[in-house]
Structure 1
Amino acid sequence: MSIQQQLNFLKQVEPFSALSLKELTHLASALDVVYFPLKTTLELSSRASSKQSTFLYFVIKGHIAEFDESNRQRAVYGANTFFGDGLLLKRESYLRYEVIEEAIAYRLPQAVFLELMSQPEIQGFFIDDITAKLNRLHAQIQAESSSEALMGVVEEAPLQSLVEVNESTGIGECVQKMQQYQTDACVVHFSASNEVGIVTSIDLLNALALDHLSVESEVGSLATVPIISVHQFDYLFNALLKMTKFRINRLVVRSDDGLVGVLHQKDLMGMFANQSGLVVLSVQQAEKIEDLKSVIHQIDALVINLNNRGVKTHYIAKLVNELHRKIMEKVFEFLKPFPELESGCLLVMGSEGRAEQVIRTDQDNAFILPDSAKNLPGLVDFMQEFTHSLIELGFPPCPGNIMVSNPVWCQTLSNLKQQLREWMTQPTADAFMNLSIFFDADVVLGDESLLLEAKQVMLTWVAANQHFLPHFAKPVLQFETPISFFGKLVTDKKSHKSQIDLKKGGVFPIVHGVRCLAIEKGILKTNTHWRIKALMEQGVLTDSFGIELGETLNFLNTLRLESMVDQVRRNKMPNNFLQVSDLTPIQQDLLKEAFNVVNRFKKLIDHHFKVSAVL
């Protein structure tokens, strides 16, 4: 074969495809071709006396099975894959290979392979754990899209000067300082409480013109406390997320040593006026439900754009979920709720409550009424109209009817608490599902204390009834992880297609397993990544495994998102199936590693809750 044929082959094999043309040519010139008849056996050893182990083998054609010292088959290698690296890098001492379909392969001398290990991309591929590999993959995508303003850091944005005063400073002096430094906000320090607040030019103008305060009046009473801040090295993406979440126009910027300036929304918008900023403004400026329809399409386009730019899926989900919640707030406001409803609490639950839903699949929402607002006339009609409005905007109805239009999910606090007790004392598959969905609930608008009081019923009951948790955790082991004992991806047998259900196979076991641990430990955070962090802080998960678990979940959700985006693009209803043939070789390898992490976590859950004992 010619050098060009060998070059073309290597360009299809990751991580070698990342090498420069000069490096690839050197590599290609060192390859020679070997033929392996059917049933040929290769016994490779890392011992110096073994000649065959001094090569890395690339399969051109055929299939070769790998067996360990215990004679267990671990993997099967086909075209465009390679084997022998574990021996060359002395991670293995002995492996046996059997040709199960006559094969042709290239072999690369050990010396040339070890030369390549000086290349960061090659070294990282063979040595790094899954966390480092995934971070490198994201960094590569982001580097290729470095023009994306969202991936810049806060200190790159134009910051207004930091003006600091104490609570006894007069309005007049405060205005003078703001004018001197050409800014429209002051940070206010309260000496007695050590609190820090902020006062804006609008606050001062209203105090003088509307409240008729004098210029000597102290600014402390006008300040908003506490400030909302962002670190100077945080992403502009997260700054936008905070502005959206808290509905504010400014963030105080901090360093490790103190406060350094103020980031204004208009300056942030100027950096990516045709991107996420416009979506945020469109939601804020909507005056009727019709105005929100175009916003939904903008959000969908934003998801695709951010994913293409290499933004991690859990960051995209956080931004998208904040935008969805703002839309729900607007819908609620446009429908003119009764005054009694304003003392209640609108919730999103399930993946929306965890801020992990990116592509809108279905609604999971609820409403808690204070006990004083029971038997409200017109309540059912209002909630049905709310659900119908969301459906019109592109939020599909929940197949299980878990929506505010269902009276089960629109109750007074006392009735809801009783409902939760019934689900816990009379557990069924539906009861477990409802409890899981509700524990993920988060507030869209209204009195958050209603939700916290209801969740406390769950935590108190579970703490007194530990026998509940092994049964509650059983679904973690319900679905097989789609990877075989031999390390191969296992595709769906029913569909006769090379596809994998990512939710059942990987996402759900992590999400529900982490949820079970969170309930046991009284953790009220809803997002799975926040729960993992809290479990690490409590020592339930080691730092290394917690990070690995979070990165694995993010990788699985990224593949799931990309598959759903492709399905939507082809006018298909998005589902959780991933076409394995659409993945690159490195994505397939990472997916195998991800499923190995899932299996380790399932074993941890099984051991921790003694799940197998109740199966």
Structure 2
Amino acid sequence: MALDVELAEIRDFLAAQEPFADLPQEALTRLVPRLTVEYHRRGTAIMTPGRDSVHLYVVRSGAVDMRDAIGTLVDRGEVGDCFGSTTLLGGNPSTFSVVAIEDTLTLAMGAATFAELCNDHREFGEFFDAQRTRRMAGAVAAKQASASGGAILKTRMSELARKAPITVSVRANVREAAQVMSDAGVSSLLVMDGERLAGIITDRDLRNRVLAAGRDGTTPLADVMSANPVTARADGLAFEAMLEMVARNIHHLPLMDGDQVIGVVTTTDLMRLEQANPVYIAGDIAKQKDSAGVAAAAARLPRVVESLVAQDASAADMGRIVTSVGDAVERRLIALAEERLGAPPVPYCWVTLGSRARMEQALAADQDNALIIDDAAQPADLDYFAQFAELVTGWLVEAGYPRCPGDVMATNPKWRITLREWKHVFGEWLNAPVPDAILRASIFFDMRPVAGDAQLYAELDDLVRSQAPSSKRFLSHLAGAAVANEPPVGFFRGFVLEKEGEHAHTLDIKRGGVGAVVDLARVHALALGLPARNTDERIAGAVAAKVMGAARGADLRDAFEFISYVRMSHQAAQVKAGTPPDNHISPDELSSFDKRHLREAFGIVRSAQSTLGTVYGTGKLG
């Protein structure tokens, strides 16, 4: 009888907590005997990163702290709170630690019981899905955090001090100092009084304060040096140092670690850092006089991506930066082609397709482009555009953008046609779709103008946006292709790897990862007639139109960001190792954190695909 009373107390306790409050009374009554009461002394680890966990825990009394794999506090659980669901839903091992911060009692529920409740009671499962959404968002934030916490031009000053400082005694004269500078090949000397920094002497000081002033080499250095110079802290930011040097019109900044001098940073050092800024690269590209100069400037892009991964940049930001540099390359080469061939005979619009059109380009991207030519073009005019396309695409190869293996380029006469012909092509895709043709044509529904008369593109876009929502067969075929592009994770949550060929035993993170989300978002955007090309914006548009739930949309956007970030990290590591970047990742190079959250991200994508397939099985989006 006492046991019955205790079980009733536990049942009543659960009935007052989320999400158990939503369970029917009979479900709670059946549940309670299947729970185990566990006692955890203060300081005891209940869950540990890297170790399997097979229970959902409910805090009956006491409190716990939940921390991620790097020790950051992510949540605090008090009476009535649950933990462990993210591991049960996403798979072991755990990526979180849970430690009792007070003597704590928990109610432990086995994995089979938890799965049964999620399956039988939708609200119960949705509660823990929301918890998983928060965890995926946290994973994205953790991947974006940098070791230094800085962004481009926020490099720590200590990273710029590559050489030991060259010094001279305060008791030396000008001739001795000049000889030291000449021997060391430096433009400045730190003047030391024992271990103390007394001043700095630069080549400009020697010109202005010695030669121009008529002094000779026996002049004491102390008379012409800059005494008590402005210094910078080793842990300071390069951006702050640049502002200081500009404000004071100085070109050399001694670098201090406490009272110790560890080097000198010059404006040249900071300019080298600035050259890694994509804005600088894009501006440099626009100044080039020939294709070789454009190619040389564009060659700095992989190192920029490497730097961005190591710093505070999201995959979305990196995609926009890589895209912007690519646009700058293409626009400059188009201008150079016009200079060589002369003005075009009729207006045209050079459009980019695929990831560049979506502002999501990564490294290892080939060319995807086309030409829309004004309807006034005569047959003779088309010869100009054939030569034009050959020049631009050939120069793009020189600049690091290989030809498209599928020949989706302006050099292909099929994709170098008048606006009238483009409207006819898109009309066939929309109104008389053939599944295989739609699969090959999907890249053309991610199109963006880069150079020329953007109005030509706008007319074509208006046609697509007005007709696509009512083209049910087209949308059904497109959705079918999107659903068929399955994420590379198996039924038992193992990664599906390439079985043979050059990339055997690797994971294609582009095709079934990034590409799967892109395909989903494209279907929704076309069905709604949205102007958006960017995947994140397309998902947001679907949520705003209420054809996708807010929670599902947030999940999908976080999953896309995480998968894209892992891809960029992989490519940055390849750049650092001196190997060509690609989209094929060996599971061995992934951390347990990445493996765990990639599986979860792929699960989110698969769930969204399932919903899309169901929607289009009924022939309508809703």
TM-score bucket (shorter structure): 0.5 to 0.7
State the 1:435 CA deviation: 3.4
Any conservation in 1 of the 2:152–2:308 contact (CA below 8 Å)?
Answer: no
- Letter paired with 2:463: V
The answer for the alignment partner of 2:151 in structure 1 is 148
State the 1:408 CA deviation: 0.8
The answer for the alignment partner of 1:243 in structure 2 is none
Q: Is 1:286 paired with 2:275?
A: no
The answer for the alignment partner of 2:442 in structure 1 is 436
- In structure 2, what is the Cα distance between the partners aligned to 1:374 and 1:572? 47
The answer for the alignment partner of 1:583 in structure 2 is 590
- In structure 2, what is the Cα distance between the partners aligned to 1:512 and 1:499? 22
Residues 286-325 of structure 1: CA deviation (Å, up to 9, x unaligned): 1221211211111121111111113011111112211211
- Letter paired with 2:362: V
**Against the structure 1 CA distance between its residues 334 and 607, is the aligned structure 2 distance closer, same or farther, given a 3 Å change threshold?**
same
**Against the structure 1 CA distance between its residues 381 and 604, is the aligned structure 2 distance closer, same or farther, given a 3 Å change threshold?**
same
Any conservation in 2 of the 1:470–1:611 contact (CA below 8 Å)?
Answer: no
The answer for the alignment partner of 1:598 in structure 2 is 605
Q: Name the SS of the counterpart of 2:570 in structure 1.
A: helix
State the 1:340 CA deviation: 3.4
Residues 352-401 of structure 1: CA deviation (Å, up to 9, x unaligned): 11111120421000110110123233331221122111111111000010
State the 1:466 CA deviation: 1.6
The answer for the alignment partner of 1:309 in structure 2 is 311
- In structure 2, what is the Cα distance between the partners aligned to 1:611 and 1:576? 35
Identity of aligned residues (%): 23
TM value normalised by structure 1: 0.60
- In structure 1, what is the Cα distance between the partners aligned to 2:278 and 2:601? 31
Any conservation in 1 of the 2:486–2:606 contact (CA below 8 Å)?
Answer: no
Q: Name the SS of the counterpart of 1:411 in structure 2.
A: strand
Structure 2 unmatched ranges of 5 or more: 1-32, 57-87, 113-130, 156-238, 240-269
- In structure 1, what is the Cα distance between the partners aligned to 2:479 and 2:532? 18
Q: Is 1:129 paired with 2:134?
A: yes
- 1:330 is matched with which residue: 329, 332, 343? 332
State the 1:80 CA deviation: 9.8
- In structure 1, what is the Cα distance between the partners aligned to 2:527 and 2:588? 40
Any conservation in 2 of the 1:130–1:548 contact (CA below 8 Å)?
Answer: no
- Once the two structures are superposed, the pairs formed by residues 521-560 of structure 1 within 5 Å of their partners are 521-560=528-567
- Once the two structures are superposed, the pairs formed by residues 15-26 of structure 1 within 5 Å of their partners are none
Q: How many aligned positions are there?
A: 418
Q: C-alpha root-mean-square deviation of aligned residues, in Å?
A: 4.0
**Against the structure 1 CA distance between its residues 581 and 92, is the aligned structure 2 distance closer, same or farther, given a 3 Å change threshold?**
farther
**Against the structure 1 CA distance between its residues 341 and 575, is the aligned structure 2 distance closer, same or farther, given a 3 Å change threshold?**
farther
Residues 568-602 of structure 1: CA deviation (Å, up to 9, x unaligned): 55555543222222122222221122112112211
The answer for the alignment partner of 2:388 in structure 1 is 382
**Against the structure 1 CA distance between its residues 89 and 599, is the aligned structure 2 distance closer, same or farther, given a 3 Å change threshold?**
farther
- 2:506 is matched with which residue: 490, 493, 499? 499
The answer for the alignment partner of 1:361 in structure 2 is 365
Q: Name the SS of the counterpart of 1:603 in structure 2.
A: helix
The answer for the alignment partner of 2:109 in structure 1 is 94
The answer for the alignment partner of 1:159 in structure 2 is none
- In structure 1, what is the Cα distance between the partners aligned to 2:95 and 2:143? 24
Q: Which moved further from structure 2: 282-291 or 459-468?
A: 459-468
Residues 541-563 of structure 1: CA deviation (Å, up to 9, x unaligned): 23333232112111111111222
Any conservation in 1 of the 2:468–2:529 contact (CA below 8 Å)?
Answer: no
Any conservation in 2 of the 1:65–1:75 contact (CA below 8 Å)?
Answer: no
The structure with the larger Rg is 2
Any conservation in 2 of the 1:44–1:96 contact (CA below 8 Å)?
Answer: no
The answer for the alignment partner of 1:196 in structure 2 is none
The answer for the alignment partner of 1:563 in structure 2 is 570
Any conservation in 1 of the 2:285–2:298 contact (CA below 8 Å)?
Answer: no
- In structure 2, what is the Cα distance between the partners aligned to 1:270 and 1:84? 47
- In structure 2, what is the Cα distance between the partners aligned to 1:590 and 1:452? 40
Q: Name the SS of the counterpart of 1:356 in structure 2.
A: coil
- Letter paired with 1:95: G
The answer for the alignment partner of 2:478 in structure 1 is 472
Residues 188-242 of structure 1: CA deviation (Å, up to 9, x unaligned): xxxxxxxxxxxxxxxxxxxxxxxxxxxxxxxxxxxxxxxxxxxxxxxx9xxxxxx
- 2:374 is matched with which residue: 350, 370, 373? 370
Q: Name the SS of the counterpart of 1:547 in structure 2.
A: helix
- In structure 2, what is the Cα distance between the partners aligned to 1:422 and 1:609? 21
Q: Is 1:410 paired with 2:413?
A: no
- In structure 2, what is the Cα distance between the partners aligned to 1:320 and 1:62? 39
Q: Name the SS of the counterpart of 1:373 in structure 2.
A: coil
Q: Name the SS of the counterpart of 1:444 in structure 2.
A: strand
Any conservation in 1 of the 2:353–2:443 contact (CA below 8 Å)?
Answer: yes
